[in-house]
Structure 1
Amino acid sequence: MDISRRNVIRAGSGLVLTGATMVSGRAQAAAIPEAPTTGDATTQQPVAPTSGPDYQPVVTLNGWTLPWRMNGDWKEFHLVAEPVVRELAPGMKAHLWGYNGQSPGPTIEAVEGDKVRIFVTNKLPENTAVHWHGQRLPNGMDGVGGLTQPHIPPGRTFVYEFQLRRSGTFMYHPHSDEMVQMAMGMMGLFIVHPRDPAFRRVDRDFAFLLNAFDIEAGSYVPKVNTMLEFNLWCWNSRVFPGIDPLVVGKGDKVRIRFGNLTMTNHPVHLHGYEFKVSGTDGGWVPEAAAWPEVSVDCAVGQMRSFDFVADEPGDWAIHCHKSHHTMNAMGHAVKTYIGVDKKEIAQRLKKLVPGYMPMGSNGMGEMGAMEMPLPDNTLPMMTGFAQFGPVEMGGMFSVVKVREGLAKGDYKDPGWFKNPAGAVAYEFKGQLPEPVRSGKQAGAKGAVEFSAVDPRTRPAGGGHDQH
């Protein structure tokens, strides 16, 4: 039996399946396919099918597709649930749980109508089970520990068998101690391509999962009991500037798929384009009903995909539009000091702490350009540089890089976009007229002072005539 990434079968009929079963005994174990593994955090090159129905393989952002083998009519995969180390971005690693050496686990790709057999080996210190989110399958293969199957004990391997009944964008994740295991990074994409190669075909197809962690500076393990106050908002367990760009050729038809396994919704916004929402985990949106957007919200447990034609070259930002989700390692208890004059207190503190630097009086943007010492294993709140300076972003942020002349399978980072002469926003150096002010500011000279006010110093009458 040969291991292959892309041997595609023609599904039979009259399939009868039972519940997830345990593999035991030397003879049965010898029949288990190999479990490929990797610790590489960069986006891996997609591999096109070499037999069976043609399809455009997905590009898993900062991830890869799980190889498989044919065994009769069955396409066989092997997932290993295990502790992993994941680099969130250069300078920070997390000790997580995942599959086959990574969090998220590798993407499973197959074709509508395929019969799949998925071996799941548990190398965690506790029971687990795998739910195939969004798939139509026999109840005993649904992967809810205790309800539809026994839990998979540590050191054991279970087998899931089902036929793929519809194409679309799906995912897999545990349904056994779910709060802990998903908070530790256990999840993966499951992409089912249409049987008809021409159905909703695109030139480039990207996919990623939205997840989040709460990891204190200097530590490595997520706080699994956090419900809302996460400090690392991720795409495929990576944060900017560790998230790879999405590289496409000018004129390509592009699909971007993503799923949400965080604890809140995410409005994902693409700059420079309007797009059509083409699918959910419930199925394809009919082309006549696909609606135009520039941002699409994705609730917890949902999948979304959208399509556009990349006809505008450039480096176009793509990000979650919740502003705290494009920051890294945020401290939620940090007070707001905008407008506070810290000069006097800063001089006192410098005598006690040489090198002390007050920040925050004029906003937080200055942090993006500063190289300040950090505790071990953490990241600046804002980081990453581009051709014009600090990007002042983190978290759920990347760049869609649209370029002319790219070869069909070329996903290498092309560097920063070279704008035509005169096509970049520039500083105006002419004479500015005096601004016209209204009300009490009408006769004021210069800028209005902006400062913090202690409410206890307001006049007894409760007036608000202060800066």
Structure 2
Amino acid sequence: MTNLSRRGFIGSSGLVLAGAAAVSGRSAFAAVPEAPTMTEATTQAPLMPTTGPDYQPVATLNGWSLPWRMNGDWKEFHLVAEPVVREMAPGMKANLWGYNGQSPGPTIEAVEGDKVRIYVTNKLPENTAVHWHGQRLPNGMDGVGGLTQPHIPPGKTFVYEFQLRRSGTYMYHPHSDEMVQMAMGMMGFFVVHPKDPAFRRVDRDFVFLLNAFDIEAGSYVPKVNTMTDFNLWCWNSRVFPGIDPFVVGKNDKVRIRFGNLTMTNHPIHMHGYEFKVSCTDGGWVDPAAAWDEVSIDVAVGQMRAFDFVADELGDWAIHCHKSHHTMNAMGHSVKTYIGVNKKDLAKRIAKIAPGYMPMGSNGMGEMGGMEMPLPDNTLPMMTGFAQFGPVEMGGMFSVVKVREGLAKNDYKDPGWFKHPEGTVAYELKGQKLGEAPRATSPDSGVKSAEWRAKDPRKPSLGPDGKPRPAVKNAHSDH
């Protein structure tokens, strides 16, 4: 696995604890597996199983899977909760909290029936705990600080032990100062593969978590008290164009799994295909009950998975269908100027701010092709270029790249799709065309009138041409 610091797994352990208990002291730590870390923000190759039942490992979008060691009949993992620096896209980094060097943390993969022992070391400045979302396990292993276990203090290591009782799609996240810690990026995927290697098997299996941040332009730390006005909508703490593509071979059976830890729902839409909803965090959907969709909504705290056969070549968009969620670093106080003639205003502003560019009169698409100066450590609202020009997207957006001839474990970006001749939308050219006949209506629009911005320095005039009396603001006393 590229850029993975394994640093060896140390010693062996016969440690068996009755609950999520603390590990302390030199002799105990001699038995703890060292925690791998990851420095890259790109999608790493799936971690192939070397022991136990066979399964198709997952590819974590812009992430990786956590290695383990076998200790008797226990599969042992080690998570470290710690501050991390995450590149959200080229040109912007954020100071977050996560696990093992990244936000989100590494994906945990195991098999139905496995006995797992997960060491959690706290390197945060405050207490933490880990909840294993969707798993059936002993109550004392559920990870709710104060309720089912003591909080994990800074500098301490706790151990969670449980047997995986059902296969499916799950996640992990804190249940200690949850609002702050999840707003800072603490979360990770947890996949339990079926004991039967043939059960619902696919050729490529992708996972990612939906999360969101409010990070002001030029700053590095999220505003953890934000409830709704987020400006960076992410998949695995990345935004387009920093989100890797889903690379699949033609006719591959493909599964895409995702979970939502934002503050709102997300309708995930994939172009070019219909797919079948195959799994939730509640379990597998019976094939006879599976339904076809092209978009599937995922509510807060839910997991969803869908399957399709990649039989249509091309570069197919996949994104959240809430239009503001495919934007970066949005300014929620920006005024709407569509239809407003700002020529005179722009001349006056340019006298005191040379280089000022009036924008927004014809929509915001022009921003997609501009490379305007930005504050340090921020991103354009819409960006990304492909073979035909600016994509004019950001946030929760990526591409499913379906290609012929890919090797089984080839996940490298194949570049842009080479369209067969005659299969790309084209401009109509030739003799000058007459205007198409249009139906008319009593009021079909603004005709030739311009929309004008109201100058707040000039009083509003009444029907008699005299200034209207000032109206007291009903909220002026607030």
* 8 Å contact kept, 2:47–2:67: no
Q: Is the 8 A contact 1:58 1:205 kept in 2?
A: yes
Q: Could you say which residue in structure 1 is the equivalent of 2:412?
A: 412
SS in 1 for 2:412: coil
C-alpha contact 1:4 1:70 (8 A) present in aligned 2 = no
Instruction: Name 1:436's counterpart in structure 2.
Output: 438
Q: Deviations over 1:343-378 (max 9, x none)?
A: 001011111111110100000000000010000000
Cα 1:310–1:457 change in 2 (3 A) is farther
Look up the match of 1:153: 153
What pairs with 1:131-280 in structure 2 (closer than 5 Å)?
Answer: 131-280=131-280
Matches of 1:449 and 1:152, distance apart in 2: 66
Alpha-carbon offset, residue 24 of structure 1: 1.2
Give 1:19 shift: 1.7
Q: Does 1:69 align with 2:69?
A: yes
CA distance in 1, matches of 2:463, 2:255: 60
Contact 2:231 2:331 (C-alpha < 8 Å) held by counterparts:
yes
Amino acid at match of 1:57: P
Q: Assess, with a 3 A threshold, how the Cα gap between structure 1 residues 453 and 26 changes in structure 2: closer, same or farther.
A: closer
* Secondary structure of 2:159's aligned partner: strand
CA contact (8 A) 1:17 1:162 kept: no
* Count, aligned residues: 446
Q: Which residue of 1 aligns with 2:313?
A: 313
**Who is 2:471 aligned against?**
none
- Residue type matched to 2:441 in 1? G
Deviations 1:117-159 (A, max 9, x none): 0000000000000000000000000000000000000000000
In 2, the alpha carbon distance for the partners of 1:258 and 1:17 equals 32
Distance in 1, Cα, partners of 2:214 & 2:377: 13
Distance 1:414 1:448, change over 3 A: farther
Matches within 5 A, 1:66-105: 66-105=66-105
SS in 2 for 1:315: strand
Distance verdict in 2 for CA 1:147–1:338, change over 3 Å: same
State the SS of the aligned residue for 1:103: coil
Give per-residue Cα distances to partners, 1:2-26, cap 9 Å, x unaligned.
x899xxxxxxxxxx97220000121
Distance change in 2, residues 1:448/1:411 (3 Å): farther
- Kindly indicate whether residue 345 of structure 2 is the aligned counterpart of residue 342 of structure 1: no
1:459, distance to aligned residue in structure 2 (A): 6.9
Three-state SS of the structure 1 residue aligned to 2:95 is: strand
Q: Aligned partners of 2:132, 2:169: CA distance in 1, in Å?
A: 11
- Measured in 1, the distance between the counterparts of 2:362 and 2:461 equals 23
Shift of 1:400: 0.1
One-letter code of the match for 1:438? T
Which amino acid in structure 2 is aligned with residue 343 of structure 1? K
Contact 1:215 1:222 (8 Å CA) reproduced? yes
Distance (whole Å) between structure 2 residues aligned to residue 126 and residue 290 of structure 1: 44
Name the aligned partner's letter for residue 433 of structure 1. Answer: E
Q: Could you tell me which residue of structure 1 aligns to residue 468 of structure 2?
A: none
Q: Tell whether the 8 Å contact from 1:63 to 1:106 is kept in structure 2 after alignment.
A: yes
Residues 273 and 294 in structure 1, CA contact (< 8 A), matched pair in contact too: yes
Work out whether residues 39 and 86 of structure 1, in 8 Å CA contact, stay in contact via their aligned partners in 2: no
CA contact (8 A) 1:316 1:401 kept: yes
Whichever residue aligns with residue 106 of structure 1, its letter is: P
State the one-letter code of the partner of 2:122.
N
CA-based RMSD: 2.0
Q: Which moved more, 1:181-190 or 1:422-431?
A: 422-431
d(CA) in 2 for partners of 1:224 and 1:328?
Answer: 18
Q: Conserved in 2, the CA contact under 8 Å of 1:85 and 1:94?
A: yes
- Could you say if the C-alpha distance between residues 340 and 433 of structure 1 is closer, same or farther in structure 2, counting changes exceeding 3 Å? closer
Cα 1:17–1:196 change in 2 (3 A) is farther
Change (3 A) 1:458 1:42: farther
In the TM superposition, what is the alpha-carbon distance from 1:39 to its structure 2 partner? Answer: 2.0
Cα offset, 1:210, TM superposition: 0.1
Deviation per residue, 1:44-96 (Å, 9 max, x gap): 00132223211000000000000000111100000000000000000000000
Q: Is the 8 A contact 1:254 1:307 kept in 2?
A: yes
How far apart are 1:266 and its partner, in Å? 0.3
How far did residue 453 of structure 1 move?
7.2
Q: Which runs of 5+ in 2 are unaligned?
A: 1-5, 9-15, 465-478
| Counterparts of 2:292 and 2:188, CA distance in 1 | 28
Amino acid in the other structure paired with 1:289: A
C-alpha deviations, 1:186-212, integer Å up to 9, x for none? 000000000000000000000000000
Q: Percent identity?
A: 81
The code of the aligned residue for 2:438 comes to V
* 8 Å CA contact 1:4, 1:67 repeated in 2: no
Unaligned runs of 5+ in 1: 6-15, 461-467
* Partner Cα separation in structure 1 for residue 63 and residue 379 of structure 2: 21
Report Cα offsets for 1:269-310 as digits up to 9, x if no partner.
Answer: 000000000000000000000110000000000000000000
Distance 2:115 2:434 in 1: 70
TM-score, normalised relative to structure 2: 0.90
- Residue deviations 1:359-400 (CA, integer Å, cap 9, x gap): 000000000000100000000000100000000000000000
Q: Equivalent residue for 2:12?
A: none
Q: Distance in 1 between matches of 2:247 and 2:363?
A: 33
Q: 1:405 to 1:308 in 2, by over 3 A?
A: same
